[in-house]
């Protein structure tokens, strides 16, 4: 099969290679999936450059050579003897097994705990495509950990809540906005001038053009904030939250993987704990007691919820553009520009 393999860390042009690789064999509790589409997430570009290699190599049991990619969308072609949930021929989407290679390849390994059947739309509508499906799994599971697991939001706990989502035009922001609006929250977000109209169409109640206006001067009294940019913006975002100890701040921008890269697993854990405490104390100065670092975590509940919303016509994938697998270098370089309005999808066929 064809796969995009890296043998060292570096720029897209220097290290992304399309090679012939062996089709993996599923173990007893795994399935083999013929990939039709995947996507490029910003984390893929950072991992290509070596980000997170210490912890992630420990989790996988190997470091290099490595196939990147986090999103699965394809057809099951083989199942292990202990698998009962899926069978050959099932169209599925989700994420790969954390211990397997990634998804920039014609075939990938996953477990039934990480993939679910594709959404099925009414016969009167155009079938849900593999490209659409590939835009969803990684961002869905990431948003779920932030908003549901950390912030405690959901169908019965979001109505009337004021939620700020930093960066509404990206894959994370676009998915978060749609979930929050379905759950009944009031949503404010930011984006560039060029993306104002499309972000508003996602359902956001207030869209602020960050190129011409400081959101921190306009917003106040928010219940929850999802930070996706970080850096100096973290202090600004903390300042828009209510200061009575009930607000929740969740950030996806934190030093966990980088610290492990710099200090190893033991000292990295110590440094991360120290840094988290410092930043939580800083949040406390704003009256924010519920301060969290959030990460991607596989979740069947998250994928199932999104599948239901798609089937009900309440959620739409937000795709910027699609590249072929042979154009993976261009796709990575485009993603790294940070200007995409939605997800960057890869057609594997």
CATH number reported for the structural domain that contains residue 183 in this entry: 3.40.50.720
- What is the count of structural domains for the chain? 2
Same domain? 282 vs 144? yes
Q: Is residue 307 part of a domain?
A: no
Same domain? 167 vs 271? yes
Which pLDDT does position 150 carry in this prediction? 97
Which pLDDT does position 126 carry in this prediction? 85
Domain boundary among 293, 309, 333: 293
Cis, peptide link before residue 94, omega less than 30° from 0:
no
Same domain? 236 vs 252? yes
**Digit-coded pLDDT (tens) for 213-254:** 999 999 999 999 999 999 999 999 999 999 999 999 999 999
Which pLDDT does position 265 carry in this prediction? 96
Which pLDDT does position 99 carry in this prediction? 77
* Residue 160, domain extent: 137-293
Same domain? 169 vs 130? no
Which pLDDT does position 163 carry in this prediction? 98
Same domain? 204 vs 340? no
CATH number reported for the structural domain that contains residue 68 in this entry: 3.90.180.10
How would you write the pLDDT of the chain (349 residues) with one tens digit per residue?
999 999 999 999 999 999 999 999 999 999 999 999 999 999 999 999 999 999 999 999 999 999 999 999 999 999 999 999 999 999 999 998 777 899 999 999 999 999 999 999 887 678 899 999 999 999 999 999 999 999 999 999 999 999 999 999 999 999 999 999 999 999 999 999 999 999 999 999 999 999 999 999 999 999 999 999 999 999 999 999 999 999 999 999 999 999 999 999 999 999 999 999 999 999 999 999 999 999 999 999 999 999 999 999 999 999 999 999 999 999 999 999 988 999 999 999 8
Same domain? 161 vs 285? yes
pTM: 0.95
Q: Is residue 182 part of a domain?
A: yes
Same domain? 41 vs 155? no
Same domain? 124 vs 205? no
Which pLDDT does position 124 carry in this prediction? 66
Same domain? 163 vs 226? yes
Same domain? 131 vs 141? no
Which pLDDT does position 212 carry in this prediction? 95
Same domain? 322 vs 257? no
């Amino acid at each position: 099969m064809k796969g995009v393999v890296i043998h060292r860390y570096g720029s897209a042009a220097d290290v992304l290679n399309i090679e012939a690789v062996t089709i993996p064999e599923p173990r007893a509790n795994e399935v083999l999936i013929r990939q039709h589409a995947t996507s490029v997430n910003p984390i893929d570009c950072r991992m290509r450059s070596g980000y997170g290699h210490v912890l992630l190599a420990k989790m996988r049991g190997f470091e290099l050579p490595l196939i990147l990619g986090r999103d699965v969308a394809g057809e099951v072609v083989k199942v292990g003897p202990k698998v009962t949930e899926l069978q050959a021929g099932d169209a599925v989407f989700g994420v790969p097994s954390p211990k397997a290679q990634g998804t920039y390849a014609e075939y990938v390994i996953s477990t039934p705990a990480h993939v679910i059947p594709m959404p099925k739309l009414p016969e009167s509508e155009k079938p849900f495509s593999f490209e659409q499906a590939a835009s969803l799994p990684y961002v869905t599971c990431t948003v779920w950990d932030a908003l549901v697991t950390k912030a405690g939001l959901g169908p019965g706990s979001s109505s009337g809540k004021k939620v700020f989502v930093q960066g509404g035009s990206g894959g994370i922001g676009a998915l978060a906005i749609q979930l929050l609006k379905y759950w009944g929250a009031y949503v404010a977000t930011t984006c560039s001038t060029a993306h104002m109209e499309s972000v508003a169409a996602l359902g956001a109640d207030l869209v602020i053009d960050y190129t011409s206006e400081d959101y921190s001067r306009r917003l106040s009294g928010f219940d929850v904030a999802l930070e996706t940019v970080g850096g100096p913006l973290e202090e600004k975002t903390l300042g828009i939250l209510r200061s009575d100890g009930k607000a929740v701040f969740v950030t996806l921008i934190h030093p966990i993987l980088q610290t492990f890269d710099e200090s190893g697993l033991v000292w990295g854990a110590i440094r991360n704990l120290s840094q988290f405490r410092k930043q939580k104390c800083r949040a406390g100065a704003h009256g924010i007691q519920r301060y969290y670092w959030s990460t991607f975590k596989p979740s069947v509940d998250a994928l199932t919820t999104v599948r239901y919303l798609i089937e009900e016509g309440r959620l739409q994938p937000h795709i910027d553009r699609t590249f072929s697998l042979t154009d993976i270098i261009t796709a990575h370089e485009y993603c790294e520009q940070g200007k995409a309005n939605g997800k960057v999808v890869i057609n594997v066929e």
